Amino acid sequence: MSETNETEEQVSEDDWAAAMGEQATVESANAAEAQPAAIFEEFSASGEKSAMPQGFDMILDIPVDLTVELGRTKISIRNLLQLAHGSVVELEGMAGEPMDVLVNGTLIAQGEVVVVNEKFGIRLTDVITPQERIRKLNR
C-alpha cells in the first residue's frame, strides 16, 4: 500500500508542477502582449498644456460656507426656553462695529452691512491676511 500512495503522491506532485509551469508560460505570454489600459490621463513633464486644471484652478469650484456674524452671546437653557416672538437677545457686538466674515468657520474678513436692491450684503472693510490667521492660531 505504501508503494501505491507514494506513486499517487509523485503523480500528483508531477501534475501540480506541470500545471504551475503551464500557468507561468501563459502569464508571461499574456504579460508581453498586454498593454496598460488608458484609464487615467498621463501627466507629462514637458510644457504641454493638458486638459487637467493646474494650481488653484483645481479647487476654484469647490463650494464653501460663507457666514456673516452679527454677534454672539451665551445664555442658559432656562433663558433660551423663555424666548418668544418679539424677544430681544443682547449680543456681545456693539452697534456700528464691523461684522465678522467666516469661511467654513474661519475668520477671513470684517465688513459693514449694506442694502442692495432690498437685499442685505456686506462690504468688506478689512481682510485678514494668512499671517494674521496663523498668529491667531498660535495664541
* Beta partners for residue 110, in sequence order: 100, 126
Global pTM?
0.49
**82-95 tens-digit pLDDT:** 999 999 888 887 77
Q: Which three cell numbers stand for residue 24?
A: 507561468
Of the chain, the percentage scoring pLDDT greater than 70 comes to 65
All domains in the chain, ordered by first residue: 61-137 (2.30.330.10)
Q: Taking the CA atoms of 28, 33, 36 and 42 in sequence, report the sign of the dihedral they define.
A: positive
Q: Which residue has the higher pLDDT, 95 or 26?
A: 95
- Name the phi and psi angles at 109, rounded to 5: -165, 170
